[in-house]
Amino acid sequence: MTAFLDIETSLTGRRWVGPTALMDRAAEAIAQGAGLPPAVAMALARRGIAPEACEAYLAPSLRDLLPDPRSLLDMEKAARRFLAAVDARERIAIFADYDVDGGTSAALLIDWLRQMGREATLYVPDRIDEGYGPNDEAMSQLAATHDLIVCVDCGTLSHGPVAAAKGADVVILDHHLGGETLPDALAVVNPNRQDESGDLAHLCAAAVVFLMLVEAGRQLREAGRKGPDLLAMLDLVALATVADVAPLIGVNRAFVRQGLRVMARRERPGLVALADVARMDSAPSPYHLGFLLGPRVNAGGRVGRADLGARLLACNVPHEAQAMAERLDQLNSERREIEAGVQAAAMAQAEARGLDAPLVWAASEGWHPGVVGIVASRLKEAAHRPAIVIGFDGEIGKGSGRSISGVDLGAAIQRLAAEGLLLKGGGHKMAAGLTVERARLEPAMARLAELLERQGAAERGAADLVLDGLLMPGAATPELIGTLEAAGPFGAGSPAPRHVFADMQITFAKRVGERHLKMRFGDGLGAQLDAIAFGAFDGPLGPALEGHGGARFHLAGRLELNVWQGRQSAQLRLEDAARA
């Protein structure tokens, strides 16, 4: 297939791929059959939506897409035990992971219980002192003072800690990859258990918790009672789905679409305070959830107090929420400073090892465990390879990894743990965590590289840039962006439409901060469009466009609304360019 506009190698090293003839025909059929603009029709054609299914796709209904909670193993049992604890006024503890998915999962349960006149103890382990997931000491102490422990976004591999919770029932609501055996808990609800069908493997933990509350609501109705309004809690499910990079397919689309509407009502004090400190001045979008709110919720677990994010999300007192949000904003700034230092050192180490290996990795003494995952993501993006970054404290290193599409890092990490090369490890296909002894670092990374090479990790280069077609600057209007958004929400597993503005003249280009580029371009016929390229100076894109010297370029990216002082205008989120 010929490269789009004959661009075999762009400024970022990618080949441009446009729509196929078959896709063009499908988009034309959708445009005619459903009466939709060509740009929207192409977005739907890319997703394989038939003309007769477009109306339902553009208005995803939770009623139509929500799976039966009882399709998940142990769900009915988990909800029944949860309700029994509520009715008997038993003491309930929630053991949550320290990331956004764990925090939102905990907040969902706390909010629901509060509306039922009950309280729960929140326990979030310290990332540095305790590490990920339940541990023997914490579970034993919680069991001594509670009747029921609900583990959210963790627990599926915690055989020992669950056994240590003597005297209390344990219910696990999780989505991490399960092992061959499960802990001896009362219920383990997890779409990624090995004995599950895998049909709901795309759910994050907060979605699993939401389904448990749906089942609890059904059991309440069967008993002639009424539970809290679950639709009002979809703001938390949406935040978790986007921040945990769950694919926006199936019911996840409905969760995010409807959750954004709930969030726009500004009824949850914690999210209102967080949006205000993040200076969100427009209706919430997946971008806001993934890049403004999510990192701030995470900041407490990374470099501050581990339970701060969950406490904020569950908070219903505005002035308390404001104080916590300001603290998280401050911690997020500290996290960025720490991250910058680790990233520079890790990148230098990985480059010295070579960025073309099946696994890119770096490890050093004193690297903060709260930022190694973010740095691993940066290495992955730079090398287009799975990446691991490990921070050592003495002889023990704690690390985090990020993978590329088509390479299951979580399964490989889990195998290393089973083989004894890691003290522990597990996660998802795209993200995983590990603990390793210094003496076993080199053999563990060599073995991991071997396992990933078998999955084809060494054969991957920069991914092709998939494009939806050409646009002229004059056609890029807020109205067009509004119609394109109808095919969303966009994110993992459902990328936003990307368009090319061909043979453009750059009329303004300026570096913003250290890494970003702000510019304006036009077609020479009068119409001009603003563009922003985040991280442009991390590679060749920024220098080439800033120093354009009058040359013309093909510019590729995603359209978005820019809101400034209450006025909306179209803007290109520039991702790539090639000389015309």
Boundary (domain end) residue, out of 433, 459, 485:
459
Q: Is residue 430 very low, low, confident or very high in pLDDT (cuts 50, 70, 90)?
A: confident
* Average confidence (pLDDT) over 288-300: 94
- Please tell me whether residues 152 and 292 are part of one structural domain: yes
Pairing state between β 465-466 and 431-437: unpaired
Residue 492, helix vs strand vs coil: coil
* 60 domain residue, yes or no: no
Residue 227 — φ and ψ, nearest 5°? -105, 180
Q: Which two tokens stand for residue 190?
A: 């997890």
Q: Is residue 429 very low, low, confident or very high in pLDDT (cuts 50, 70, 90)?
A: confident
Q: What is the pLDDT of residues 517-573, one digit of tens each?
A: 999 999 988 899 999 999 999 889 999 999 999 999 999 999 998 877 778 899 999
* 62 domain residue, yes or no: no
Q: Rounded to whole angstroms, how far apart are CA atoms 480 and 469?
A: 14
147 and 161 Cβ atoms separated by less than 8 Å: no
Q: Rounded to whole angstroms, how far apart are CA atoms 49 and 540?
A: 37
Boundary (domain end) residue, out of 438, 459, 480:
459
* Average confidence (pLDDT) over 317-332: 97
Q: State the residue range of the domain holding 507.
A: 4-18+467-579
* 420 domain residue, yes or no: yes
Q: Which two tokens stand for residue 419?
A: 């083989």
* 543 domain residue, yes or no: yes
- Please tell me whether residues 437 and 368 are part of one structural domain: yes
- Please tell me whether residues 34 and 99 are part of one structural domain: no
574 and 532 Cβ atoms separated by less than 8 Å: yes
Q: What is the pLDDT of residues 263-287, one digit of tens each?
A: 999 999 999 999 999 999 888 999 9
Where b means 16+ CB within 10 Å and e means fewer, 304-335 reads bbbbbbbbbbbbeeeeebbebbebbbebbeeb
Whether the pLDDT of residue 308 is over 90: the answer is: yes
- Please tell me whether residues 26 and 11 are part of one structural domain: no
Tell me how crowded residue 461 is: count the other CB atoms within 10 A of its CB.
Answer: 12
Q: Which two tokens stand for residue 118?
A: 């009950």
Query: What residue has token string 């001009």?
Result: 528
* 272 domain residue, yes or no: yes
Q: Is residue 428 very low, low, confident or very high in pLDDT (cuts 50, 70, 90)?
A: confident
What pLDDT is stored for residue 462 in this prediction? 66
Residue 521 — φ and ψ, nearest 5°? -145, 165
* Average confidence (pLDDT) over 205-226: 98
- Please tell me whether residues 39 and 73 are part of one structural domain: no
508 and 568 Cβ atoms separated by less than 8 Å: no
Question: Domain tally for the chain?
Answer: 4
Q: What is the pLDDT of residues 8-55, one digit of tens each?
A: 999 998 999 999 999 999 999 999 998 888 999 999 999 999 999 999
* Average confidence (pLDDT) over 242-252: 93
* 476 domain residue, yes or no: yes
Q: What is the pLDDT of residues 408-424, one digit of tens each?
A: 999 999 999 999 999 99
- Please tell me whether residues 512 and 560 are part of one structural domain: yes
CB contact set of 68 (below 8 Å; sequence gap of 6+) = none
What pLDDT is stored for residue 129 in this prediction? 86
Q: Rounded to whole angstroms, how far apart are CA atoms 461 and 464?
A: 9
Sheet strands (E) in 3-157: 16-17, 92-96, 121-123, 148-152
Q: Is residue 483 very low, low, confident or very high in pLDDT (cuts 50, 70, 90)?
A: confident
Tell me how crowded residue 512 is: count the other CB atoms within 10 A of its CB.
Answer: 15
- Please tell me whether residues 225 and 366 are part of one structural domain: no
What pLDDT is stored for residue 302 in this prediction? 87
The CATH number of whichever domain residue 452 belongs to comes to 3.10.310.30
- Please tell me whether residues 73 and 171 are part of one structural domain: yes
* 339 domain residue, yes or no: no
Q: Give 319-362 as a 3 state SS string.
A: HHHHHHHHHHHHHHHHHHHHHHHHHHHHHHHHHHHCCCCCCEEE
Whether the pLDDT of residue 463 is over 80: the answer is: no
Q: Which two tokens stand for residue 502?
A: 């061909």
* 63 domain residue, yes or no: no
What pLDDT is stored for residue 460 in this prediction? 66
- Please tell me whether residues 455 and 543 are part of one structural domain: no
511 and 505 Cβ atoms separated by less than 8 Å: no
* Average confidence (pLDDT) over 358-369: 95
The CATH number of whichever domain residue 157 belongs to comes to 3.90.1640.30
Which residues are bridge partners to 94 per DSSP?
122, 150
| Mean pLDDT across the chain | 94
Tally of CA atoms within 13 A in the half-sphere of 339 that contains its CB: 20
Q: Rounded to whole angstroms, how far apart are CA atoms 63 and 301?
A: 35
- Please tell me whether residues 146 and 201 are part of one structural domain: yes
Whether the pLDDT of residue 486 is over 80: the answer is: yes
Q: Is 153 left (phi over 0), alpha (psi -120 to 50) or beta?
A: left
What pLDDT is stored for residue 2 in this prediction? 86
Q: What is the longest distance spanned by two Cα atoms in the chain?
A: 76
Whether the pLDDT of residue 301 is over 90: the answer is: no
- Please tell me whether residues 521 and 574 are part of one structural domain: yes
Residue 246, helix vs strand vs coil: coil
Q: Rounded to whole angstroms, how far apart are CA atoms 524 and 329?
A: 43
Q: What is the pLDDT of residues 137-151, one digit of tens each?
A: 999 999 999 999 999
What pLDDT is stored for residue 406 in this prediction? 87
- Please tell me whether residues 269 and 404 are part of one structural domain: no
What pLDDT is stored for residue 461 in this prediction? 64
Boundary (domain end) residue, out of 285, 312, 329:
329
